[in-house]
A and B are shown apart, each in its own frame.
Chain A
Amino acid sequence: MEQTKFIMINPEKCSGCRTCEMACSLYNEKECSPSLSRIRVVRNEAIGDSFPVGCALCSKPVCVEVCPTGANSIDPELGTGLINEEICVGCKACVRACPFGAAGISYRTGKAYKCNLCGGDPMCVKHCPTKCLEYAPLELTVRHRRRALADDVIAKLKGEG
């Protein structure tokens, strides 16, 4: 069975460096600006926690459902986000609807943007120095996470943690 690939986030590894934001915006927008990045990192520097938030590529995407013009869709073959800028009117309905703050409006074009998985090789994943992001089939990323948890618990039980 062909499985959907998606970006798994392992926040315990995230250093909050925002390399992912820069990779996304430079690759997709030819400019370096967090405001144009599809992935954004929520940092809490006082205690050191960071959490990258990106498009979940929902199976039932509300951003698509609320779009009044049909500009907002999911590519049926690649499963990637798609905005037809020709018909997007910048009404921001998608931005309001997305539960993750993953859709945005470009300050340059006034049109919506969202994650397009860089055509199948997401740059945020590729350049993350801590390997906190993982682009793999759903089942595989879940296995990885389970194993990481198990390793951690076992180490603690053995008093190595």
Chain B
Amino acid sequence: MYGWRGKRIRFNLTKGTWDVEETPYEYRRKWLGGRGYNSEVLYNSVGPDVDPLSPENVVCLGVGPMSGTFGPSTGRVTVTAKSPLTGGFGDSNMGGHWGAELKFAGYEQIILEGKAPKPSYIWIDDDKIEIRDASHIWGKYPRDADAIIKEELGDKDIHIVTIGPAGENLVRFACTFNDCYRAAGRTGHGAVIGSKNIKAIAVRGTGGVKIANPEEYFKICSEWRETMRTDPMAQGLLNYGSLILIMPCNYEMGWFPWKNLKYGYHPDARNISGEVWSKKHLRHKEGCFSCAICCGIVSEIREGKYKGEYTGGPEYEAAVPTGPRVGIIDSETTLHNAVLTNNFGMDAIEAGAAISWAMECWEKGYLTAKDTGGLELTWGNAEVVDKLLRMMTYREGFGDILAEGPWRASQKLGIGEDCLVVTRGMSLPGDDPRGLGFGYGLSFAVGTRGGCDHLRSLCCLELSGYLYPGLNKKIVGTEECSKPLVTAGKPKMVYWEENQKAFVDSLQVCCFNTHWSYGCRNEHLVPMLNAVTGLDFTEDELMTIGERIYNLERAYWAKMLSGKYEDTVPRRFTHEPMPENPAASSGKVLPLDEMLPEYYKLREYDPETGFPGEKKLKELGLEDVAEELKPYRKKYIELHKGKKGGKKKK
């Protein structure tokens, strides 16, 4: 077998046993790998009524046929579980070297079922597997746990997935790391892993991945790498990491997420730009496995009260949430907060979103010192942010409420929705569609893991597509749609990007190679996959696989009775014009309703429910799913009788 190793390990943690299963050819061809495998397992094994933090939930970690090869940036791992944050479909994706190591050990996927009777970690040493005691590392920060396990197993070159204290304490947005800092941040599966009493998964693999046509593969990958050396987006990422975004985001386009995304601009944004950051804080570059770009960094604080602290990253989305989003604009404090979220093991986006939500509520008088136990939640109050990050992790006082995420917290406290920047239970990242682009806005509304979804479609055809002449024309049919703040062509753009991203995610290739910078496109990926596997995939088939995965994930939400009425974005973006600023976003709102109908048509969703259409599901080989959704369609229609479609009440 070429490419795939063709095996996965299914753990029954309750019994302390495991099975190594073969994945048959048809299965591989239908779901490809990582994200596809995981979505299939979750859909078929965790029903709509399962409590995400109960032993009935499962966690899947998956890689793909190109993982662990010379293919550029093939280090990604998808982690999937029913999300404790949203209650719905949840997955997230991390880089690092663990995924390649899993492949070298001989597997594409790990499935965790049940709950270990006591704190444990898993040790996979090629075909030797063990569940070991983890009582001595319970409570440790990820990088400390990583070091202790390596010491204990006597090999510093193994690769380890870990959770932090936030995961152990069931913080609903706890995340998962590998190689200390590479986080699968979103949807909270760190808490699911914690609820299963698992602290870590250590892997050593000494085997390899067989390549069907080695010469061909070497040639295509080399060409791709060569392209990356001159690609403008890739070079920007190599030199400055994803913080390179700050300058255009603030000064040109105006979507700088200042104060809970109320504003899109701040005159001092430069302070945390990649350009300034690399001078002040860059300690070292840190690339993921076989990466052609190497955007990763390790940062350190060289002066001031946090001198000596260091951590992996932060990337744009790990820096801004506990920086500008909470009203902090200096890089030392921003980096200090990123150190904390990494140490505690929590999703920086949701953590920052929770605090900034609370700060906005404080400003508006919805929260007072009585609710917060005396904390003054004023914008930019660094001391309070530091305290709250700790209090959330250990679920103390007001932190215990914030550890539920802003959506649940606002319900618990009975506060209105006007400060919430949330869709389907999940906070949106630091990307404001009023400036970043209407395609992004649409993808936030319809993303299959909740509203976050800056990565579900990664609508870079509008962010960087203009750098690749003819690309938008070829894919969407018009160049016009590469302009961010127009609606024309956006539904098609989102539809295409979502399907493409679903198969790229299943190959576990990094989206910075295939979306952000379009140096590598389908016309390169298809021959690469064929050279690895020796099969005859076509672009159409891969896009169909993407569409299949997308529809299955959407069907998961449908069973949760989430459909058309939930396809929305926070009021902030649709009803509050972007405050006056010198950039392009000034005065803009997101015209979501102009785009949704066309998107629905392209997706062939039921117009009444927004559920995947029966005909489409059958076309995609998901006949069982089509059958299964029938009663849910009825229920959904019943539930929403008399309501008017798709729009939120003013």
Complex CA gap A126/B219 in Å reads 13
B310 partner residues in chain A, CB cutoff 8 A = 47-48
Indicate if the CB atoms of B225 and A127 lie closer than 8 Å. yes
Name which of A1-9, A21-29, A61-69, A79-87 contacts chain B.
A21-29
Within 8 Å by CB of B291, from A25, A36, A44, A129, lies A129
Distance from A24 Cβ to chain B, minimum over Cβ atoms (Å): 9
Residues of A contacting B210 in the complex (Cβ-Cβ under 8 angstroms): 31
Q: Mark A8-42, 1 if CB is under 8 A from B, else 0.
A: 00001111111100110111011111111000001
The residue that B222 contacts in the complex, of A30, A32, A33, A127, with Cβ under 8 A, is A127
Please state if B146 and A46 are interface contacts (CB–CB under 8 Å): yes
- Residue ID in chain A nearest B101 by CB atoms: A34
Contact yes or no, B284 A32, CB < 8 A: no
Report the nearest B residue to A17, measured CB to CB.
B287
Q: Give CA–CA (A15, B228) in the complex, Å.
A: 16
Which size bracket describes the interface of A in this complex? 35 or more
Do residues B104 and A34 form an inter-chain contact, with CB atoms below 8 A?
Answer: yes
Residue of B nearest to A11 (CB): B284
Provide the residues of chain B in CB contact with A139, threshold 8 Å: none
- Residues of A contacting B100 in the complex (Cβ-Cβ under 8 angstroms): 18
In the complex formed, the residue of A with least CB distance to B217 is A26
In the complex, residue of chain A having the shortest beta-carbon distance to the beta carbon of B310:
A47
- Knowing A31-B214, A129-B225 are in contact, say whether A48-B283 is a contact too (CB < 8 A): yes
Using CB atoms, name the residue of chain B closest to A25: B208
Closest Cβ of chain B to A100, distance in Å, is: 15
B218 to chain A, nearest CB (A): 5
The reply to whether the CB of B29 lies closer than 8 angstroms to some CB of chain A is no
Give Cα A32–Cα B209 distance, bound, in whole angstroms: 5
SS class, residues of chain A in contact with chain B = mixed
Shortest beta-carbon distance, A52 to chain B, in Å?
12
Q: Counting CB contacts under 8 A, is B296 at the interface?
A: yes
| Interface size, chain B (Cβ < 8 Å) | 48
B238 within 8 A of A: yes
B285, A15: Cβ atoms under 8 Å?
A: yes
B211 within 8 A of A: yes
* B222 vs chain A, min Cβ distance (A): 7
Q: A33-B104, A33-B207, A48-B312 are in contact. Are A15 and B222 (CB under 8 A)?
A: no
B-side contacts of A50, CB under 8 Å: 284, 286
**Assuming A26-B211, A46-B146, A127-B225, is B218 touching A17 (CB within 8 A)?**
no
Contact in complex: A130, B180 (CB < 8 Å)? no
**Per-residue contact bits, chain B 272-296, to A (CB 8 Å; 1 contact, 0 not):** 0000000000011111111111101
Q: Is B209's CB under 8 angstroms from A129's CB?
A: no
Partner of B208, one of A17, A27, A31, A42: A31
Q: Does A43 contact B (CB under 8 A)?
A: yes
Contact A18 B70 (CB under 8 A): no
B222 surroundings in chain A (CB, below 8 A): 126-127
Is the pair A35, B207 in contact by a Cβ cutoff of 8 Å?
A: yes
Judge whether B157 is part of the interface by a CB distance below 8 angstroms.
Answer: yes
Inter-chain contacts of B229 with A (CB < 8 A): 129
Docked Cα-Cα span, A42 to B158, in Å, equals: 11
Contact in complex: B181, A18 (CB < 8 Å): no
Residue from B157, B283, B286, B292 within 8 A of A19 (CB atoms): B292
Which residues does chain A contribute within 8 Å of B68, judged by CB atoms? Answer: 32
User: In the complex, what's the smallest C-beta–C-beta distance from A159 to chain B, in angstroms?
Assistant: 11
A102 to B627 Cα, complex, angstroms: 59
User: Which 10 A-B pairs have CB atoms at the shortest separation, nearest pair first?
Assistant: A33-B208, A48-B298, A17-B287, A15-B287, A48-B284, A30-B214, A15-B285, A22-B70, A15-B294, A32-B69
